[in-house]
Structure 1
Amino acid sequence: MFARRVRHINRYREIAVALLSQGFDYIVEEMGLIQKVPYYQRVRTVKKSGGIGERIRLVLQQLGPTYVKLGQIASTRPDLLPPGIIGELEKLQDKVPSFSFIEVHSVIQEELGRTLEEIFQHFEPGPLAAASIGQVHQAVLKTGEKVAVKIQRPDIATVIKTDLEILYELANLAERRFHWAKTYQLVDMIDEFSKALSSELDYTNESRNAEKISKQCINNPVICVPKVYRDYSSSKVLTAEYIEGIKISNKEKLEQQGYNISLLAERFAKEIFQQIFMEGFFHGDPHPGNVLVLPGETIAFLDFGMVGHLNSEMKYNLSSLVIGLMHQDSDEIAKTIYRMGIVSEYANKLKLRDDIELLVEKYYGVPLSQVSIGEAVNNIFAVALKHKIKIPADMVLVGKALLTMEGIVEKLDPHLSIFDIAEPFGKKIVMERLHPKTMTKKFWRNINDFSELFVSFPQQFKEFSAVVRHGRLRLDIAIPEMEHILKTQDRISNRVSFSIILLALSIFMASIIVSLSIAGQSSLLWPIPILEIGFGIAMVIFFWLLYAIIRSGNL
């Protein structure tokens, strides 16, 4: 317990120093972290040359793997963060040294219960790649298959757990101290990001994801997913088929080797749409490093740590968005946003529709071949964020996957229309929705819900009556901008109070002047000029009140 506390104190100090180094001293001071920083580090010169997004990125890089990984996850959420910050977070890269081969031996033996020599015929000591959570080695199984072995960094789970505990504490503190932290629901945001990070720490999740997408593609010979070797995998070790190919973004090399570039672009786009619209289970990060081209224009997907899930309702909503964009139908887009999101009680439907109209006008007259579906979907989610409508994380991941896919397709074949490829998928979902079998199933589900409501109504009414009878009925009334109204009322009360004091002082001074005039005495009292001092105080209060009223603009 003591050691854990010491670790937390040291990490708090590192966080405070990193924030100070990028000019976030006001946050450090407001959150009470300044006392944890040595004096010589408080007073050093701070650079504030970059924008806020760039400085946030530099802080995350300085704090190490956990924060870099969280930043990378946050970069996939344009529904939660402004574009300027998202753009900087996308630049975050894993720049970490590989861990030793001795540690690789140790992790494999501990996780798989056998030594490295018992499992592998050959194992490359140097990693193919090293990242914040783990590293990948090439190897050959005893049975002769070439494999890629991903091994988790020793103790990284403990480090991440400590960092997440501290982040929760800081997020709670920030929501109490800063309005912007409460607006962005920082605690919920950290909770969501930490769940995604914890999921990536368990390699069995990635194994299941790879196997599921592999089954989806079983009847498609031009799509390849590496086979996972479950007997040689665990939560910290993942052994999968080793695939050699050309990165899909390497157009020059693909052309040199005679690949049909247009066909590759079309196949890649169709597979992404198939995964999203038809299967509802898709690769969440199809960047060029995770997509290889094999002979026969076959496309291989790698690394399934980040995936998205869409149920039938979400798939229907997504297709409605795409069709609404194609027809430039603002009402349909607005209705879809309300269906798919968690709507704030203060959301203004008219303002939302106006903002969607402005967005649709942006695409008015533009040929569909020139419209980016990913960008358009992300723009719609940005409008939803503005109106405090929370979009499901998996739906937002769709926007990122589409943008990534479109970037690759545009590079391969600029003339390929993404909308033309997407349209049949969207229409198919709508037709499935309107199919008699689907509508009958939905009808009986609604009947079942109503019957449950009808059966439970007497009991619920009985409970409600008991609450009313015992006087425990509570009525919550929320008035928008109540806090602002109360503050304004408080300022008015203060000014009225000062005005009354000024009036009382003026009456008092006038009575003294009259009394002294009648008595024919001097205004000096114990050689102190009472009238002059009183007049001075009255003038200070008067001018202060006048300045406050003019400054408020309510003169």
Structure 2
Amino acid sequence: MLLSGIKGAWRIAQTTSVLAKNGFDWLRGDRPPTPKLLRETFEDLGATYIKLGQFIASSPTLFPEDYVEEFQACLDQTEPLPYSYIESVLQKELRQPLDQVFSEIDPNALASASIAQVHAAKLVTGEDVVIKVQKPGVEHVIHTDLNFIHLAMKILETITPHLEMASLSEIVEEIQKSMMDECDFLKEAQNIESFQRFLDETQNNLVVVPKVYHQATSRRVLTMERLYGVSMTDLDAIKRYSENPELTLRIAMNTWFASLHQCDIFHADVHAGNLMVLRDGRVGFIDFGIVGRLTPGTWDALNDFGEALIAGDYETMANAMVVVGITKQKVDTVKLANDLEKFIKRVDGLQSVSYLDITETENDINKLMTDFVRMAKRHGIQFPRQFGLLIKQLLYFDRYRHVMAIDLVAEDYMSFLN
């Protein structure tokens, strides 16, 4: 208890120091725009605030456009920790000699982010795996920092007096849940296995998720099957593994759409790094740290939206948006329908970007998402974050369609829902 208190006090001192330094810089005349100042401060503060920044970047339904755009630059890439630190976590978490679990572990990290580091390894039983290891001390830092989240939101609300978003308490609650879920690798393992059950129940053997190895998994360590493949945006590489790239994309889309109403969760981060075409031609979904859940009302509205899209009935689409959104005023659905028609035609008219330029693709998706939310707000509609996550995944799939030059029509999208 005493040690925990000392660590908490030290973290508070670190946070205060960063805030003071940035405050003094501001007083001395170094005054970047407020969103940039906040983003740079968050990056200086470390893991918790980087995740908070990413939450802002991925939540145009909750935060102002200039903050959402600025926090797209909030990178969660850090210098890898020496393997000795990672090894200490593995030994503490797995509670057995590591050579009884792994025949080898690559000391060089495959990836390193604010919360976790990933290493390639091989089990003693011969399987190739990846180990996602939470960095030492991160959980305690996040737990301490969460006490500051409410204050951070208060500051954000103060410096942006006309902030249009859901109630502060609801945002803080969602941020806390999102962050704590990402720190609990047992929950991520449950998400993976929930999706696997969905694949089994639908007899879908064309899509795979990594197998979780529970004997080498804990709250802070996640050991998974290593899947070998290429990004869904690398068309040349896909052609090496799939004779029919169009069919491969349709399989991925069919599976994801079916999960919306046949699985407890849906994958809420299908960017190019998390959707793979494997060497045997199957589709691999990886990284289930961020998932969404649809309420029955949202699902019904999505069905109405899809049926209206087929019919070109933009007014019914507008009514579906009103149902799923939060509004305190009467919405002119005729005007909203006109704006919807313009937006959808704009999306349909997009040209494919370079299929190797993942960053550009991500930026385009974020821009479209921001424009969609801005359009809804002009009509007094605010969407819950889950619906925002859903729309963003739809935009990802639409971009993959452009990359592969596949001419899907409205009926194709609706068939995925049924």
Match of 2:130 among 123, 148, 151: 148
Per the TM alignment, residue 155 of structure 1 is displaced from its structure 2 partner at its CA by 0.8
Looking at CA atoms only, which structure, 1 or 2, has the larger radius of gyration? 1
Paired AA for residue 327 in structure 1: A
Deviations 1:482-525 (A, max 9, x none): xxxxxxxxxxxxxxxxxxxxxxxxxxxxxxxxxxxxxxxxxxxx
Give yes or no for contact 1:120–1:139 (8 Å, CA) kept in 2: yes
Paired AA for residue 390 in structure 2: V
Deviations 1:28-55 (A, max 9, x none): xxxxxxxxx5xxx45434153xx65555
Give the 5 Å matches for 1:472-551: none
Give the 5 Å matches for 1:321-340: 321-340=305-324
The worse-fitting range, judged by mean Cα deviation, of 416-425 and 176-185 is 176-185
Separation in structure 1 between the aligned mates of residue 163 and residue 86 of structure 2, nearest angstrom: 41
- Aligned: 1:288 with 2:272: yes
Deviations 1:400-433 (A, max 9, x none): 111222222321x22322633212244x3xxxxx
Please name the residue that 1:358 is paired with.
Answer: 338
Q: What's the % identity of the aligned pairs?
A: 26
Please name the residue that 2:355 is paired with.
Answer: none
Separation in structure 1 between the aligned mates of residue 152 and residue 371 of structure 2, nearest angstrom: 30
Please name the residue that 2:17 is paired with.
Answer: 13
Please name the residue that 1:137 is paired with.
Answer: 119
- Aligned: 1:69 with 2:55: no
Relative to 1, partners in 2 of residues 1:171 and 1:182: Cα closer, same or farther, differing over 3 Å?
farther
Deviations 1:270-321 (A, max 9, x none): 2222223554631111111112212342111111101111133321211212
The worse-fitting range, judged by mean Cα deviation, of 354-363 and 98-107 is 354-363
Relative to 1, partners in 2 of residues 1:92 and 1:326: Cα closer, same or farther, differing over 3 Å?
farther
Separation in structure 2 between the aligned mates of residue 117 and residue 361 of structure 1, nearest angstrom: 60
Per the TM alignment, residue 74 of structure 1 is displaced from its structure 2 partner at its CA by 2.1
Separation in structure 2 between the aligned mates of residue 11 and residue 102 of structure 1, nearest angstrom: 27
Paired AA for residue 30 in structure 2: V
Relative to 1, partners in 2 of residues 1:363 and 1:4: Cα closer, same or farther, differing over 3 Å?
closer
Relative to 1, partners in 2 of residues 1:355 and 1:86: Cα closer, same or farther, differing over 3 Å?
farther
Please name the residue that 1:397 is paired with.
Answer: 389
Matched residue SS, 1:407: helix
Give yes or no for contact 1:139–1:149 (8 Å, CA) kept in 2: yes
Relative to 1, partners in 2 of residues 1:172 and 1:57: Cα closer, same or farther, differing over 3 Å?
closer
Please name the residue that 2:223 is paired with.
Answer: 239
Matched residue SS, 1:192: helix
Considering fraction of residues, name the structure with more helix.
1
TM-score, normalised to structure 2, is 0.84
Matched residue SS, 1:349: coil
Separation in structure 1 between the aligned mates of residue 64 and residue 264 of structure 2, nearest angstrom: 27
Per the TM alignment, residue 394 of structure 1 is displaced from its structure 2 partner at its CA by 1.9
Please name the residue that 2:81 is paired with.
Answer: 99
Please name the residue that 1:417 is paired with.
Answer: 408
Separation in structure 2 between the aligned mates of residue 417 and residue 9 of structure 1, nearest angstrom: 56
Per the TM alignment, residue 356 of structure 1 is displaced from its structure 2 partner at its CA by 0.8
Separation in structure 1 between the aligned mates of residue 370 and residue 160 of structure 2, nearest angstrom: 27
Relative to 1, partners in 2 of residues 1:244 and 1:341: Cα closer, same or farther, differing over 3 Å?
same
TM-score, normalised to structure 1, is 0.64
Separation in structure 1 between the aligned mates of residue 253 and residue 237 of structure 2, nearest angstrom: 20
Per the TM alignment, residue 166 of structure 1 is displaced from its structure 2 partner at its CA by 1.6
Give the 5 Å matches for 1:294-305: 294-305=278-289
Per the TM alignment, residue 128 of structure 1 is displaced from its structure 2 partner at its CA by 1.2
Please name the residue that 1:532 is paired with.
Answer: none
Paired AA for residue 408 in structure 1: Y
Give yes or no for contact 1:283–1:306 (8 Å, CA) kept in 2: yes
Give yes or no for contact 2:298–2:324 (8 Å, CA) kept in 1: yes
- Aligned: 1:267 with 2:251: yes
Per the TM alignment, residue 123 of structure 1 is displaced from its structure 2 partner at its CA by 1.5
Separation in structure 2 between the aligned mates of residue 361 and residue 65 of structure 1, nearest angstrom: 41
The gaps in structure 1 that reach 5 residues or longer are: 21-36, 429-555
Matched residue SS, 1:289: coil
Bigger relative contact order (CA 8 A; separation at least 6): 2
Separation in structure 1 between the aligned mates of residue 395 and residue 160 of structure 2, nearest angstrom: 33
CA RMSD of aligned residues (A): 3.1
Relative to 1, partners in 2 of residues 1:292 and 1:368: Cα closer, same or farther, differing over 3 Å?
closer
Relative to 1, partners in 2 of residues 1:354 and 1:335: Cα closer, same or farther, differing over 3 Å?
closer
Matched residue SS, 1:135: strand
The gaps in structure 2 that reach 5 residues or longer are: 352-364
Please name the residue that 1:229 is paired with.
Answer: 213
Separation in structure 1 between the aligned mates of residue 173 and residue 208 of structure 2, nearest angstrom: 34
Relative to 1, partners in 2 of residues 1:342 and 1:103: Cα closer, same or farther, differing over 3 Å?
same
Please name the residue that 1:437 is paired with.
Answer: none
